[in-house]
Amino acid sequence: MSDRSHLIATGKPFQFDAERDAMFERLVVRYPTRESMILPSLWLVQEQEGWVSQEAIAYIADRIGTFASKVFEAATFYTMYHLRPMGRYHICICRTLSCWLRGKQEIVDYLRGELGLAPGEISEDGRFSLEEVECLGHCGTAPVVQINGEFYENMDVDKLKSLLATLV
Ligand code: FES
């Protein structure tokens, strides 16, 4: 979906908002070392901003007391971290076997036809982005779609159409 070897700079300093700051402080005491906080911190950044910027990497490294390269390695290795801005609603469609057999492609084709949205793209209005991902762990209720972290199971085109209409 993006070049995972490069980070985008916003040109603006990053810091956690009050809610994420409090969350960081609650979590940090529960981990054996401060470096164990790299992945949770990246989640907090993504929850706050929707993606992880160069400034956010530097902030986490500073906050944890580690090298920015270690945070960079984690952010670029795990594909669930977005390294560029996504749509307001980020749609992940499972493309693994159960979902593939049970019609994930009809959903992908619908999104391409209806919204002009192909995997790896962001809609022109910035409302949606689409990504095909590996198994989401709900194979018994395939096909599975995840939108901003929420799971929607036994999906089909009609259900997705109704769901997208509620996402403004
Ligand atoms: S194969 Fe789609 S959730 Fe497992």
Confidence of residue 4 (pLDDT cuts 50, 70, 90): confident
Mean pLDDT in residue range 112-130: 93
In a domain, 115, yes or no: yes
Same structural domain, 160 and 99: yes
Mean pLDDT in residue range 36-52: 96
* Model pLDDT, residue 1: 47
In a domain, 1, yes or no: no
Cβ(136) to ligand 1 under 6 A? yes
CB atoms within 10 A of CB 131: 20
Cβ(99) to ligand 1 under 6 A? yes
* Model pLDDT, residue 29: 96
Same structural domain, 67 and 121: no
Same structural domain, 60 and 123: no
pLDDT at 22 over 80: yes
Same structural domain, 65 and 25: yes
Same structural domain, 93 and 69: no
CATH code of the domain in which 103 resides: 3.40.30.10
Cβ(144) to ligand 1 under 6 A? yes
pTM of the model: 0.81
In a domain, 11, yes or no: no
CA of 153 to the centre of ligand 1 (A): 10
Q: What is the pLDDT of residues 49-88, one digit of tens each?
A: 999 999 999 999 999 999 999 999 999 999 889 999 999 9
Alpha-carbon distance of 67 to 7, in angstroms, equals: 16
- Among the three residues 47, 77, 107, which one is the final residue of a domain in this structure? 77
SS3 of residue 151 by DSSP: strand
Domains held by the chain: number: 2
Same structural domain, 103 and 125: yes
CA of 136 to the centre of ligand 1 (A): 5
Same structural domain, 161 and 93: yes
* Model pLDDT, residue 6: 82
In a domain, 108, yes or no: yes
- Among the three residues 27, 55, 77, which one is the final residue of a domain in this structure? 77
Cβ(98) to ligand 1 under 6 A? yes
pLDDT at 95 over 50: yes
Confidence of residue 5 (pLDDT cuts 50, 70, 90): confident
Q: Are 107 and 155 in contact (CB under 8 A)?
A: yes
pLDDT at 3 over 80: no
Q: Which domain holds residue 44?
A: 18-77
In a domain, 5, yes or no: no
CA of 148 to the centre of ligand 1 (A): 17
Confidence of residue 126 (pLDDT cuts 50, 70, 90): very high
Same structural domain, 98 and 32: no
CA of 135 to the centre of ligand 1 (A): 4
